[in-house]
Amino acid sequence: MADALMGERLAESLAENLARERRSARPWLFWGAMALLAAALFAARIVLHLSDPAFAAPPMQDIGRVILTHGLFPRAAVALVSGAALGLAGLLLQRVLRNPLAEPSTLGIAAGAQLAMAAATIAAPGLMAISREGVALAGGLGAAALILTLTWRRGLEPVSVVLAGMMTALTATAASTALILANGDYMFSLFIWGGGSLTQQDWGATTAIATRLVIVTAAAALLLRPLAILGLDDAASRSLGLAVDTMRLMVIALAVWLASTVTAQVGVIGFVGLAAPTLAHLGGARTLRARMVAAPLIGAILLWLTDGCIQLTAGSNGERIPTGAATALLGGPLLLWLLPRIRMAEWPSLHAALAAGARSERPWRLVAVIVVACLCMAAVGLVAGRGPDGWTIATGALFADLLTWRAPHMGIAAASGAMLAGAGMLLQRVTGNPLASPEILGVGTGAGVGLTAVLYLVDDPGIGIQFAASASGAVIVLVLMLAIAARSGFGPERLLLGGVAMGALCSAVLTAVIATGGVQALALLRWISGSVNMAAPEQALLAGLAALALLAPLPFMSRWLDILPLGAVTARALGVPVRRSHAALIALAGLLTATAALFVGPLSFIGLIAPHLARLIGLARPLPCMAGSVLIGAGLMMLSDWLSRMVAFPYQLPLGLFAALLGGPYLIWLLGRGRAGAGR
Amino acid sequence: MTSRIDSADVSTVPLYELEGVGFSAGSRTILPGLTLSIAPARIHGLVGPNGSGKSTLIRMLARQLDPTGGRLCFMGQDIRSWNPGDFARSVAYMPQFTPPAEGMTVTELVALGRFPWHGALGRFTARDRLKVDEALADTGLAGFRDRLVDRLSGGERQRVWLAMMLAQDTRCLLLDEPTSALDVAHQAEMLSLVRRLSRSRGLGAVVVLHDINMAAAICDDILALRDGALMARGAPEAIMKSAVLEELYGLRMGIFPHPGTGRPIAYVE
Amino acid sequence: MHRHAITRRAALALAGMAFGNAALARGTAQRIAAIDWATLETALALGMIPVAATELIQFRRQVIVPAVPDSVTDLGLRGTPNFELLRIVQPDLILISNFYEHMRPLYERIAPVFSATVFRHGEPPYPRAEQVTAALGERLGLTDEARNVVDGTRRELAAIRERLSGAERRPVFVVSLGDARHFRAFGDDSLFGNVLGMLGFANAWEGASSYSAAAPVGIEALARVPEARLVVVEPTPPEVRRVLATSALWRALPMVREKRVTFMAPVNHFGALPSARRFAQLLAAPLNGDGSVSDGGRSHG
C-alpha cells in the first residue's frame, strides 16, 4: 500500500524531495535571519527617530520620547503580538477543523468582525465607544457560528467549511463596502486604513492582544494532547475517549476570541494566519508541540518584518499602504513560491464532494424553463421601475426613452453574468474542484491589477486598452495559478491555497492604490464596486458580442468537459490531450472572466453560484449544465441589476456588490441544506 | 501516424519491450533499470513488497509517467512517439484510485471509453453504441445502465471502470491494484472477470496485485519486483516456491497445495 | 424635449417648461439639476433652487449650510446618480464638475451640461470658486446675485481677517479624524487651506493634498509643528474621541497639552464660496483664542 501511495505521489514530490534533505537546519537559520532583518529595520527606525533634528531641542525632547515609548515601541510590540496571535489562531483552527485552509480570514471571522464594526460605527456609534472589542467579537463569533451551524451536519467537512467561510467573508466584505459607499466614498480610504494599520499611540492594543495571546497559549498548551488527537478523524478521536464536539467548539471559540481581538485593535491583517502555520509545517515542525511554538513565532516575525518594510518606505507625508494590505504583498508571493514544495500527504483530502441535486430526467426541459424565467426577468427589468411618485410601468414614449437607459444595464448584466457563469463552469470542470471559480482563484482581482497598471501608464485609456489590460491581468493570474496547481495534478488544496494567495496579493495591490487617493483610486473604486450605472449602449453591445463570441466555443468542448473532471490520469488514459485541452479551456475562462470583470468588477459570486445552481437543479451532463449555468448566470445578474436599482431607490447599489450580497447568503444557505431534498 | 500493426503481427510482436528503463525522482532512484518484455494476449501479474516499484512501472507502461532512462517500446515503437489518441485505442489503464464520477450514470461513464475513437468533436456512432453495450453485457452491468456511478458499491463501481476499459476496445489492459478496495468475494469476482475477458477477447493484461495467491490464481506470468529490479519471473508454479517468496518478501513463507485444486498457496510461517 | 406626458411629474415638468421657455429665450435655465456639491451650494447661494441634486441625505448632514428645501429630488450617490430618475425629472441644465467629466456624454443625453472646476491638484480653489460662481450666475441669468455672492464672501473674509489681526500667528493644522490613529490633512490646494491663507494664517501641513485631503497620516506627524494650532473638522466618530482622551501620544502633543485644539462643526470640504464663508466664520472664534478649546474633544464649536 505504501508503495502504491508513494507511486501516486512521486510526480508531486519531485521538487519537494530535494528540499527535504536539507530541511533540518535550514528553517532555523532562515527564520533567524528574517528575525534579525526585522530587528535591524526596527533599529534603523529607532536611530532615524533619535537623530531627527525636530526632536532634538529641549521642549521637543519630551514629545520625541513619547513618540518613541508610546509610538514606535508599541508598534513593534503590537506587530509581534498580532502576528503571533494570528499564527496561533490559524494553527488552532486548522488543527481542530482538520483543514489546511482554515484561518481567521478564510473563515470570515475577520470580515465578520469588520462588518460588525462598520455597522456599529454607522448605526450605533455609542456601542463602538463602549466596547469596540465586544462589537468585533460579536461579529467574529457570529461568522464562526454561522459557518459551524451550516456545515455541522456535514461533519465540518473541509470543502464545505472553507466554501461557507469564504462566502461569509466575501459577503461580509461586500456588505461593509456597501455600507461605506452609501455613507460617502470619502470614508473609504480612512476605513481601509482603519483596517490593517499598525500605527500605535500607547500600549493599549499591545496589552489587550498580549493578554489574550497568553491566555489562549496557556489553554492550548493544556489542550495539547486532545488537540493532537483531534487532528485524527472524529471516529478515532471518539474511540480515544475525547468529547470531540465540546473540545472543538472550545478551541474554535478561543481562536475566534484571539482573531477578533486583533481585528478590533489593528484591523484586518490578511494572510498571517494562513501563512504562519503553513510555513511552520514547511519548516519541518512535525509535531503539534513544535508547531505551536513555530507558528506564532513565524507569524510574529512575518508581521514585524512587513511592518518594518512599510515604515522604511514611508515618506514624510506618511506611509504608502496599510500594513494589513502589505502582509499579503509579502506573504502572497511567499506562499505561491512555496506551494509546489508543500508536502500535503498528511493533510486530509478536500476531495469530498458537494451535494448535487437529483439528476433531472429531462434536462432540456429544465433549460427551457430557465430561458422563460430569464425572459420574464428581462421584461420586468425593462418595464417596471420606480419614479419620484412610486412604482411605474413604463409605456409608450417614456418607455422608449427609458429603454435607452435600462437596456444597456440589462444587456451588460446579462452578458457579464453569462460569461462569469461560463468561466466558473469551465474552471470547476477542468479542475474537478467544486470551489474553483473566477472569483476565488483571484482571476477577477488579477484583471483589476491589469486595469490598475494601464490606468497609471496611459492617460484616459479607452475601453479597448482597458479590456486588453484587464484580460492580460486575468490570464496571467490564471496561468500562474494553474501552473502551480498542475504540478500536483490540480490538487484542490493547492489550487485553493494558491487562489487565496493570489487573490490576497492582487487585492493588496488594489487596496494600496485606493488608499493613496487620486484619480486612479476613484476609477478603481468604481470598478471594484462593479457599477454599471454609466453603461452606454455601445458598451452593452460590446459586452453582448464578447459574450457570444467567447461562449460560442463552449459546446464544442463538452466532451473534454465530460472527461476532465475525472482527473488528469483518466483523461490521459482516454487519450485526451491533457495539456492542450487545459490550456485552451483555461485561456477561454480567463478571457471570459476578464471581459465580465471589466464591466461588473471582481466581486460578484455569479461564477461560483451559477454552475452550482445548475448542478443542484439536476443538470449534470456537460451540455445542459453549460446551457443552464450560462442562463442562470445571465438571469441572476439581471435580477441583481434590477434589484440594485430598486431596493434603495433613488440610491443605486453597484451591480457587482449587490450580486455578491444576493448570491453569497444564498449559496451559504444552500450549503447548509445538505444532500437530502436538495434541488427540488 | 501508422502505428497500428496488422492483425497478423499481433500474436508475435511483444506488447512492451523495456531496455534498461529506469525512473528516479530527485536523488532517489525508484527503478534503476529494467529490461524485460511483455507478451500479448497473456495476463501478467506484477507483485512485490511495498516500495518495489510496481506502481511506478505500470504507470510508465500506461504513459502516465515518463521514464527517466532507458528505452520503452510499445508494439515495437518508442512509447513517447505514439500520439495520445492512437495510444488510447491500444492501451486502457485503470488507476489504483478511480475518481468518484459524480452525477454520471453507468452508461455515460462507460461511453467515455469511446472517446479515443470519436474524439472531441466526432459523432457517437452506432458502432460506438454497440461497443458500449457489449462492454456492459460482458461485465454483467446490463441491469445497471441508468444507475448513478457514485451510488454503486465498491465492487460494482470497479466493474463499471472495467467496462469503460473494454469499451475503449484496446489490445492491452493495465490495472493498478484493481482489488485494493474490495472485500475477498469481490476481489475474486473481479479478478476472474478480468481473466475471463482477457481470454475471450484475446487481450494482453498487466495487473498489479498485492496478494500473491490471487496473482498465482489468475496470471499466466508473474513478474516479481524487489527494490526496483526484476527478482524473479515465470509461471505461477515457478514463483510460488518458499525460497523465491522468502527472498521477495524477506519473510519465511511456506507453500501448501490447495485442498480442492492442488494449486500452490503461500502462507507466512 | 417635451415629448412625453406620461406621469404626473412629467406633466408638471411640462408646465415648468412653459415658464422655462421664456427663460430659455434669454439663454437661461430654470430647472437645474446639480450633480456636484460645489455647484449645488453655489446655485443655492444664488437663490436658484434646483429641481434635483445628489446625495442629499449626506449633504444635509455634512454641509448643513446652505439648507436644501424638501422639494429637491434626491438623485442618489454623486458617483452613481440615478440617470433614469434624472431623465424623468427632465431638467434643462445639469451642473457637474471636472470630477464628473467622464460622464458628460450621458448627461448630455438628458440636458445641456454646465461644468465647473473648483478643485484641481496643486491649485488654490478659492479663485476658481469665484469664477464658477460668476459663470453659473451668467448662465442662469443671475449675474447680479453672483456678483453679490462673490463680493459678499470676499468682504466677509476680509472682515474676519481684520478681526483676527490681533490673534496669535500660529500655523494651523486643519484635519479630519477617521480613526484615533490617523488624520487627513487639508493642504494649501484644499478649500480650507486656501481660506486659512486668506485669513493670514500659515498652513502647518506643508504637503500637497490629493483631491481634497492627503492620504491618512499617523497622529504623531502633528508633533512636527509643535507650535501649531489644530482644527479638527467634524464629524469625528464618538469612539475616536473616547480613545483620544486616554491616548498618551495624543495628550503629549504640544497643541493638546497647551489646549490649542478645536473641534469644528462639519463643513463641505468639496464646497465653493458658501463653504468657504462658513469655514471662515467657524474658524474665527478659535483662532481668536476664544473658541471652545478641548483636550480630548469632549465639546465642539
Residues C183, C67 within the same domain: no
A642, pLDDT greater than 70 = yes
User: Are residue A326 and residue A453 in the same domain, yes or no?
Assistant: no
pLDDT of C186: 87
pLDDT in tens, C163-206: 988 888 899 999 988 777 778 888 888 899 999 999 999 998 87
Q: What percent of chain B has pLDDT over 90?
A: 47
At least 3 CB pairs under 8 A between chains A and C = yes
Q: Which residues pair with B172 in a beta bridge?
A: B91, B204
Residue where a domain terminates, one of A305, A338, A371? A338
User: Residue B42, class by beta-carbon neighbours within 10 Å (0-12 exposed, 13-18 middle, 19+ buried)?
Assistant: middle
> In this predicted model, what pLDDT tens digit does every residue of A75-86 receive, in sequence order?
999 999 999 999
Contacts of A among chains (3+ CB pairs under 8 A): B, C
**Contacts with A6 from chain B: Cβ below 8 Å:** 51, 55
Which residues of chain C does A181 touch, with a Cβ-Cβ cutoff of 8 Å? 77
Cα C88 versus chain centre, distance: 28
Q: What is the pLDDT at residue B29?
A: 87
Phi, psi of A574 (to 5 degrees): -90, 5
Residue where a domain stops, chosen among C63, C85, C116: C116
Mean pLDDT of chain A: 80
Residues A325 and A428 both lie in one domain:
no
Of A47-56, A120-129, A169-178, B6-15, the range with the lowest mean pLDDT is B6-15
Residues of B in contact with A14 (CB under 8 A): 25-26
Residue A576 lies in a domain: yes
Measured CA angle at B148 (ends B145, B149), to 5 deg = 95
The answer to whether residue A464 sits within a structural domain is: yes
Residues A261 and A52 sit within 8 Å (Cβ to Cβ): no
In this prediction, residue A515 carries a pLDDT of 67
Higher pLDDT, A151 or B73: B73
CB contact under 8 A, A202 and C74: no
Mean pLDDT confidence for B144-163: 90
Contact present, A104 and A266 (Cβ < 8 Å): no
- C-beta of residue A155 within 8 angstroms of C-beta of residue A675: no
Of C282, C298, C275, the C-alpha closest to C62 is C275
On whether both A314 and A459 belong to a single domain, the answer is no
Q: Are residues A397 and A327 in the same domain?
A: no
Q: Which of C84, C116, C148 is the last residue of a domain?
A: C116
Inspect the interface and report whether the beta carbons of B150 and A562 lie closer than 8 Å: no
Ranges of beta strands (E only) in C61-208 are 73-74, 93-97, 113-116, 172-179, 182-185
Partner-chain contact B112 A573, CB within 8 Å:
no
Same domain, C106 and C174: no
Q: Cα separation of A333 and A505, whole Å? A: 7
Residues of chain C contacting residue A66, judged by C-beta atoms under 8 Å apart: 248-249, 252
Which of A162-176, A380-394, C45-59, C287-301 shows the lowest mean pLDDT across its residues?
C287-301
Domain annotation covers residue A7:
no
The reply to whether A63 and A102 lie within a common domain is: yes
Q: What is the pLDDT of residues C40-69, one digit of tens each?
A: 999 999 999 999 999 888 888 877 878 899
Chains A and B: 3 or more CB pairs within 8 Å of each other: yes
CATH of the domain at C233: 3.40.50.1980
Q: Are residues A294 and A424 in the same domain?
A: no
What does residue B228 show for φ and ψ, rounded to 5 degrees? 80, 5
Cis status of the peptide bond prior to C235, with omega within 30 of 0: yes
The DSSP call for residue A315 is B
Residue A135 vs residues A131, A157, A256: alpha-carbon distances, Å: 6, 29, 13
For residue C118, which of C141, C101, C135, C97 has the smallest C-alpha distance? C97
In this complex, do B84 and A6 lie within 8 Å of one another by their Cβ atoms? no
A549 contact partners, CB below 8 Å, separation of at least 6: none
Would strands C182-185 and C261-264 be described as parallel, antiparallel, or unpaired?
unpaired
Residue type, A225: R
Does residue A159 sit in the same domain as residue A236?
Answer: yes
Q: Are residues C110 and C164 in the same domain?
A: no
For residue C53, the SS3 value is strand
Residues C180 and C278 in one domain: yes
**The pLDDT of residue A140:** 93
Whether residue A87 has pLDDT greater than 80: yes
pLDDT by residue (tens digit) across A449-484? Answer: 888 888 888 777 777 788 788 888 888 888 887 777
Q: What's residue B168's pLDDT?
A: 94
Q: Does C301 reside within a domain? A: no
**Model confidence at A351: pLDDT above 50:** no
Domain range spanning residue C71? Answer: 8-116
Residues A199 and A71 in one domain: yes
Q: Closest residue of A to C187, CA-based? A: A317
**Residue partners of A591: CB distance under 8 A and separation at least 6:** A471, A474, A475, A550
How much of chain A is in helix, strand and coil states, percent to nearest 5?
A: 75, 0, 20
Overall size of chain C counted in residues: 301
CB atoms within 10 A of CB A35: 16
C50 lies in the same domain as C162: no
C-alpha cell at C3: 415629448
Q: What is the pTM of this model?
A: 0.80
Least confidently predicted of A369-383, B243-257, C147-161: B243-257
The DSSP H or E segment spanning C217 is: strand C217-218
Dihedral-angle region of residue B252 (phi above 0 means left; psi in -120 to 50 means alpha; beta otherwise): beta
Instruction: Give contacts of A71 with chain C, Cβ < 8 Å.
Output: 218, 220, 249
Q: Tell me: do C110 and C167 sit in the same domain.
A: no
Contact (CB<8Å) A406/C84? yes
Inter-chain residue contact A190 with C248, CB threshold 8 Å? no
CA A357 to chain B, closest CA, distance in angstroms equals 9
Q: Residue range B167-181: average pLDDT?
A: 90
Number of domains in chain A: 2
ipTM: 0.88
Whether residues C167 and C261 fall in one domain: yes
- Count of C-beta atoms within a 10 Å radius of residue B39: 15
Please indicate, yes or no, whether residues C173 and C235 belong to a single structural domain of this protein: yes
Domain co-membership, C163 together with C96: no
Q: How confident is the model at residue A20 (pLDDT cuts 50, 70, 90)?
A: very low
User: Which residue range(s) make up the domain with A26?
Assistant: 22-51+58-338
User: Residue C137: inside a domain, yes or no?
Assistant: no
Residue A432 banded pLDDT, cuts 50, 70, 90: confident
Q: Residues A664, A168: contact at Cβ < 8 Å?
A: yes
Question: Which tens digit of pLDDT belongs to each residue from B183-219?
Answer: 888 888 889 999 999 999 999 999 999 889 989 989 9
Rounded Cα–Cα distance for residues C281 and C283 (Å): 5
- Examine residue C138 and state whether it is found in any structural domain, yes or no: no
- Is A299 inside any structural domain? yes
**C144, C131 in Cβ contact below 8 A?**
no
Residue A538 shares a structural domain with residue A452: yes
Question: Who wins on pLDDT, A340 or B79?
Answer: B79
Residues A48-73 have pLDDT tens digits of: 888 888 777 776 777 888 888 888 89
Calculate mean pLDDT across residues B227-244: 90
Q: Which domains does chain B have, with CATH numbers?
A: 7-268 (3.40.50.300)
Are A315 and A385 in a shared domain? no
Contact flag B210-A8 (C-beta cutoff 8 Å):
no
Closest CA to A353 of B102, B95, B153, B105: B102
CATH number at residue A503: 1.10.3470.10
- Asked, for residue A11, whether it belongs to a domain, the answer is no
- pLDDT tens by residue, A645-679: 888 888 888 888 888 888 777 777 766 665 433 33
Q: Is residue A639 part of a domain?
A: yes
Is A266 in the same domain as A386?
no
Q: What would the 3-class secondary structure string for B131-194 be?
A: HHHHHHHHCCCHHHCCCEHHHCCHHHHHHHHHHHHHHCCCCEEEEECCCCCCCHHHHHHHHHHH
Q: Is the CA virtual torsion B97, B99, B100, B104 positive or negative? A: negative
Q: What is the mean pLDDT of residues C249-262?
A: 88
User: At which of A338, A353, A377 does a domain end?
Assistant: A338
B110 lies within 8 A of chain A by CB:
no
User: What confidence category does residue A354 fall into, taking pLDDT thresholds of 50, 70 and 90?
Assistant: low
Q: Considering chain B, what is the average pLDDT of its residues?
A: 88
- Do B236 and B221 form a contact (C-beta atoms < 8 A)? no
Instruction: Say if residue A279 is in the same domain as residue A379.
Output: no
Interface-testing mutation among C55, C61, C82, with chain A (most A C-beta atoms within 10 A): C82
What pLDDT, on a 0 to 100 scale, did the predictor assign at position B204?
A: 93
Residues B28-53: tens digit of each pLDDT: 888 998 999 999 989 999 999 888 89
Do C182 and C99 belong to one domain? no
- Contact in structure between A71 and A135 (CB atoms under 8 Å): no
Domain boundary among C62, C84, C116: C116
Read off the pLDDT of residues A284-309 as tens digits, 9 standing for 90 and up.
787 888 889 999 999 999 999 999 98
pLDDT tens digits for range A156-179 = 776 677 777 877 887 887 787 777
Pair (C175, C263) in one structural domain: yes
Strand partners, C34: C53, C95
pLDDT of A323 above 90: no
Q: Is residue C110 in a domain?
A: yes
The number of distinct structural domains making up chain C is 2
Residue listed under C-alpha cell 415638468: C13
Q: Cα angle at B157 between B154 and B161, to 5 degrees?
A: 135
Q: H helices within A535-577, ranges in order?
A: 537-551, 558-563, 568-573
